[in-house]
A and B are shown apart, each in its own frame.
Chain A
Amino acid sequence: MTHPSLALTGVSKSYGSVHALNDISLQASAGERLALVGHNGAGKTTLFKLLLSILRPDRGEIQVLGKSPQAARAAGSIGFLPETIAFDPAMRGIEALRFWARLKGLPGSVAEEAMEKVGLGEAKRRPVRSYSKGMRQRLGFAQAILGDPHLLLLDEPTTGLDPAFRRIFYDLIRERAEAGASVVISSHALSELEAETDRIAILGGGRLLALGSLDEIRREVRLPVMLRVVPGPCRSSDIAATVAPEASVTRRSGEAVELACEPEAKMAVIRRLAGLGEGVKDIEVLPPSLDAIYAQVTAGRAP
């Protein structure tokens, strides 16, 4: 029988009178990449701390890899990258990583491999104080993947990373997920998460506001689909008349016309535009981005 990699049922956690998390139920299965998005203070870091058994929930139950969070952590099955990663600045990169490897009961050679994976092989003998912010973040990521953990918890992992390593980072995440690990990524870089995660959980005010794949949340939120149409010889007013009343013109930019319509009406509108024949040069469908969905879901909610 396979367990979900993590399962939270009705979990609440308060700090005094502040409800950091309120009745959260959430699951992630093996091989899944789950994005955790929310304002600062929405409860993302608290959720990580609960999964790591650094905090205990006030109510509800948490299972990590089929065990209690304490047991999962004790087994060394969880990799964690905190939002701010700090090392003793005088330590050499490899020395820091060997320390973390030994704490997990792993041989020092594992640390060497992890250094190579994150592209720090050349810099491994340099003291951490000489590392750039991006290099420290890479070192942090290297410690998180030590021993190929079954659950990876990454808090704002791409902060400070250059675009080239961002690509490598997401490739490594995909590699880990394909090997069966669950990956939970909290981030504000929504456009990145859109392409690099399987499901998205939106937290706000300590509550789970939305959970599902991007398509599922899109359907639920019912934001209009945008169509960018470049007219041919016909006038843009003809286009507006053709697609009404299902779609309406929201903006004209340069030679293009932007239309908005309900998700269900999208195909009907496209067919009508196709009916204009040479009158339409190009159609581009722009589904609502995660940024737009996030803004809609969290609108009016305090963190």
Chain B
Amino acid sequence: MTPLAVVAWQEFRNDLRNRWVLAATGLLAIFALALAFLGGAPAGTTGVGRIDLLVVSLASLSIFLIPLLALLLSYDSIVGEVERGTMLLLLAYPVSRAEIVAGKFLAHLGILLVAVTVGFGSAAAALAFTGDAPGTAEWAAFLRLCITSVALGASFLGLGYLASTMVTERATAAGLALGVWLLLVIVFDLVLLAALVAFGSDIPPAAVEAALMLNPADVFRLANLAVGGNVSEAAGMVGIGAELRLPASALNGVLALWAILPLAGAWLLFRRREV
């Protein structure tokens, strides 16, 4: 086993023992099942598939829950170990700082992967077994939701590690992580909306588009809800999708960048940090 794999495996085991995996999976499953069975009413007779509707509901849920879960998993990863004194010993071993950050990232990504697959998957499976079999397009939209949810989680994991590396106390890292969540998940869109209401037509669409790319939560939203098809229709975002000049592949690329860049930033900061 390489040092990277040893760190990742141990981190995953610790999180498994500390009920993190169970809590994250349970939380997503409960919400997803509730949405699957209770959230079907608004569809009425629009002809939108039940899985499509589930994707819309789950995407809205993911925007709030996945960043929160990711930040909770990651905010004390570095600063917590430094504070407890375990980081000093870890750094005395033949393992590089890059391997430590990457190992923790892989473990936490694994938890999100399990939580999303089992949590969302149970809701989709329940729908598939209780009604008409969903079509390929519906399953593709669902798969897309799962993959982008994990990517969204990855970007907030990276942001959590950044917070964890920048400060010297766990409590500060927790505050910073909460601030990141509030800013990107709640405040950012409100500010953008306020700007659009206030200045409306003065703002060129390209600027709005660029602003949306600055927030991984918005990139995730667009990637799932505005890429056309039944999902866009169900989400009421067909118009936005048509306005949007970025193709789905570009949105995927931006989301992938968001998954990588904060992590790279955290590694660069951790490299320079004195323990």
A86/B92 in contact, CB under 8 A: no
B92/A52 in contact, CB under 8 A: yes
Contacting B at CB under 8 A, from A84-125, are 84-88, 90-91, 99-100, 102-105
Contacts of A55 on B, CB cut-off 8 Å?
274
**B8-33 Cβ-contact flags toward A at 8 Å (1 or 0):** 00100010011000000000000000
Nearest chain A residue, comparing its CB with the CB of B2: A105
What class of interface size applies to chain B in its complex with A?
20 to 34
A87/B86 in contact, CB under 8 A: yes
A4 interfacial by beta-carbon distance below 8 Å: no
B92/A73 in contact, CB under 8 A: yes
A82 interfacial by beta-carbon distance below 8 Å: yes
> For the complex, what is the distance from the CA of A302 to the CA of B90, rounded to whole Å?
32
A141 interfacial by beta-carbon distance below 8 Å: no
A103/B14 in contact, CB under 8 A: no
> For the complex, what is the distance from the CA of A90 to the CA of B13, rounded to whole Å?
11
A103/B91 in contact, CB under 8 A: no
A75/B89 in contact, CB under 8 A: no
**A227-258 Cβ-contact flags toward B at 8 Å (1 or 0):** 00000000000000000000000000000000
Q: How far is the CB of A160 from chain B (nearest CB, A)?
A: 14
Contacts of A88 on B, CB cut-off 8 Å?
14, 86
> For the complex, what is the distance from the CA of A100 to the CA of B94, rounded to whole Å?
10
B14/A91 in contact, CB under 8 A: yes
Q: How far is the CB of B52 from chain A (nearest CB, A)?
A: 43
Q: How far is the CB of B56 from chain A (nearest CB, A)?
A: 40
Contacts of B93 on A, CB cut-off 8 Å?
73, 76, 100, 103-104
B187 interfacial by beta-carbon distance below 8 Å: no
Contacts of A74 on B, CB cut-off 8 Å?
94
B207 interfacial by beta-carbon distance below 8 Å: no
> For the complex, what is the distance from the CA of A280 to the CA of B74, rounded to whole Å?
75
Contacts of A143 on B, CB cut-off 8 Å?
89
Contacts of A102 on B, CB cut-off 8 Å?
1, 6
B192 interfacial by beta-carbon distance below 8 Å: no
B6/A90 in contact, CB under 8 A: no
> For the complex, what is the distance from the CA of A214 to the CA of B6, rounded to whole Å?
44
A80 interfacial by beta-carbon distance below 8 Å: yes
Q: How far is the CB of B87 from chain A (nearest CB, A)?
A: 9
Q: How far is the CB of B121 from chain A (nearest CB, A)?
A: 29
A90/B275 in contact, CB under 8 A: no
B85 interfacial by beta-carbon distance below 8 Å: yes
B85/A86 in contact, CB under 8 A: yes
> For the complex, what is the distance from the CA of A54 to the CA of B95, rounded to whole Å?
11
A78 interfacial by beta-carbon distance below 8 Å: yes
Q: How far is the CB of A291 from chain B (nearest CB, A)?
A: 29
A85/B85 in contact, CB under 8 A: yes
> For the complex, what is the distance from the CA of A87 to the CA of B89, rounded to whole Å?
10
> For the complex, what is the distance from the CA of A15 to the CA of B93, rounded to whole Å?
24
> For the complex, what is the distance from the CA of A15 to the CA of B275, rounded to whole Å?
12
> For the complex, what is the distance from the CA of A80 to the CA of B85, rounded to whole Å?
13
Contacts of B7 on A, CB cut-off 8 Å?
103
Contacts of A49 on B, CB cut-off 8 Å?
88, 275
Q: A55-B274, A99-B10, A102-B1 are in contact. Are A86 and B94 (CB under 8 A)?
A: no
B3 interfacial by beta-carbon distance below 8 Å: yes
15 A-B residue pairs with CB within 8 Å: A15-B274, A49-B275, A52-B92, A54-B91, A55-B274, A73-B94, A76-B94, A84-B85, A86-B84, A86-B85, A91-B14, A91-B17, A103-B6, A104-B93, A104-B94
Q: What 12 additional pairs, Cβ within 8 angstroms, besides A86-B85, A88-B14, A103-B7?
A: A49-B88, A49-B275, A54-B91, A54-B275, A73-B94, A84-B85, A85-B85, A86-B84, A90-B14, A100-B93, A103-B3, A103-B90
Q: Chain B: residues with CB nearer than 8 A to chain A?
A: 1, 3, 6-7, 10, 14, 17-18, 84-86, 88-95, 274-275
